[in-house]
């Protein structure tokens, strides 16, 4: 799977991932103690939706653009407001021209005491990310391989926080690599919250990942699986289904997602309503 994110920024998978990211960080605000966000595969930070790649891919039109136009209940609107307010801040003229990636969404939800470590190895993306963060003192961009960073930066000195692991899945072994390196990081920092993104194209590979991660956590309730599909997935077709594994999720998260996701099935579905899954997987 070759995943250059300029083509896919703002698609359905980004929408789901970033809603969950915003809910987790909003929950962390409930305590005054500082937290850290570690983004292992941070990307370029900000994506131009008027550029050639985004225009050719056009996936944002079926993702964030549809969500911005959707009619939501008051409860769901309040839950997704932290995420959508950030997107709107990057589009002050109302037209969608830019989409913030996970490091910029995380940065927008940091309080003065909180910090972000954004890891990006690819030179072009790293340069763009540095420019997007404008050398922010709370947001540090690190020239390091994300897989190395996963174990090198945990536990953080703040002792609270989130590790976002969102690799490009360009190599066939990345499901197994993700499971193994998550296990190594979890052994060093079992109290941290981890958010693992994965594509659901090969069901066997994704199920093995879920089982391996669930087997590592201390208790079943410490792992939450979220999957969202916009259409049936074909082996050679574009990505239609993606998932998240959240280890040590906020206790409120599952109920929040069961409120939010049913209202996204229709606006994000392609050729019919989408479908979602929120459950506690078995190892």
Residue-level pLDDT at 54: 87
Contact 218, 240 (CB under 8 A): no
Residue-level pLDDT at 1: 41
Give the number of other Cβ atoms within 10 Å of residue 165's Cβ: 22
pLDDT range class, residue 4, cuts 50, 70, 90: low
In terms of pLDDT, which residue wins out, 88 or 220?
88
Domain definitions of the chain by residue range: 5-279
Percent of the chain with pLDDT over 70: 99
The tens digit of pLDDT for each residue in 190-208 reads 999 999 999 998 888 899 9
The tens digit of pLDDT for each residue in 120-158 reads 999 999 999 999 998 899 999 999 999 999 999 999 999
For the cut 60, the answer to whether the pLDDT of residue 46 exceeds it is yes
pTM of the predicted model as reported, rounded to 2 decimal places? 0.96
For the cut 60, the answer to whether the pLDDT of residue 3 exceeds it is no
Reply yes or no on whether 171 is catalytic: no
Residue-level pLDDT at 44: 95
Q: C-alpha angle with apex 59: 104 to 103, nearest 5 degrees?
A: 10
Q: What tokens appear for 193 in the block?
A: 């919250």
The tens digit of pLDDT for each residue in 220-236 reads 889 999 999 999 888 78
Q: What is the mean pLDDT of the chain?
A: 94
Q: Which residue has the tokens 């056009």?
A: 58
Set 14, 39, 166, 222: catalytic member: 166
**Burial profile 206-242: b = 16 or more Cβ within 10 angstroms, e = fewer:** beebbebbbebbeeeebbbbbbbbbbebeeeeebbbb
Contact 253, 223 (CB under 8 A): no
Who's near 198: CB < 8 A, 6+ residues apart? Answer: 169, 175, 178, 206, 209, 242, 243, 244, 245
Residue-level pLDDT at 262: 97
Q: Rg for the chain (alpha carbons), in Å?
A: 17
Fold of 5-279: Rossmann fold (3.40.50)
Give the Cα separation of 240 and 141 in Å (integer): 31
Paired sense of beta strands 98-100 and 115-119, if any: unpaired
Residue ranges in 29-140 assigned as alpha helix (H) = 52-57, 64-69, 74-89, 102-108, 123-133
The backbone torsions φ and ψ at residue 8, rounded to the nearest 5 degrees and listed phi first, read -115, -5
Sign for the CA dihedral angle at 199, 16, 256, 40 comes to positive
Give the Cα separation of 123 and 255 in Å (integer): 40
């Amino acid at each position: 799977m070759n995943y250059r994110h300029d083509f896919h920024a703002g698609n359905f998978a980004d929408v789901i991932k970033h809603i969950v990211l915003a809910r987790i960080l909003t929950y962390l605000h409930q305590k005054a103690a500082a937290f850290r966000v570690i983004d292992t595969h941070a990307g370029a930070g900000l994506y131009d939706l008027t550029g050639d790649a985004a225009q050719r891919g056009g996936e944002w039109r079926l993702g964030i653009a549809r969500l911005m136009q959707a009619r939501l209940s008051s409860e769901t609107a309040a839950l997704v407001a932290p995420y959508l307010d950030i997107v709107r801040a990057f589009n002050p003229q109302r037209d969608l021209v830019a989409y913030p990636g996970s490091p910029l969404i995380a940065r927008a939800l940091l309080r003065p005491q909180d910090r972000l470590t954004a890891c990006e190895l690819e030179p072009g993306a790293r340069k763009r990310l540095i420019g997007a963060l404008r050398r922010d003192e709370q947001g540090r961009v690190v020239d390091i391989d994300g897989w190395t960073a996963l174990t090198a930066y945990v536990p953080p000195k703040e002792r609270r926080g989130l590790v976002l692991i969102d690799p490009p899945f360009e190599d066939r072994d990345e499901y197994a690599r993700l499971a193994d390196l998550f296990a190594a990081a979890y052994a060093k920092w079992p109290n941290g919250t981890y958010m693992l993104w994965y594509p659901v194209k090969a069901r066997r590979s994704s199920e093995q990942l879920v089982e391996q991660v669930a087997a590592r956590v201390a208790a079943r309730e410490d792992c939450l699986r979220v999957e969202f599909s916009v259409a049936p997935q074909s082996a050679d077709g574009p990505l239609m289904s993606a998932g998240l594994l959240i280890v040590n999720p906020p206790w409120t998260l599952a109920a929040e997602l069961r409120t939010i996701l049913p209202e996204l099935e229709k606006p994000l579905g392609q050729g019919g309503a989408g479908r979602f899954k929120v459950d506690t997987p078995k190892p």
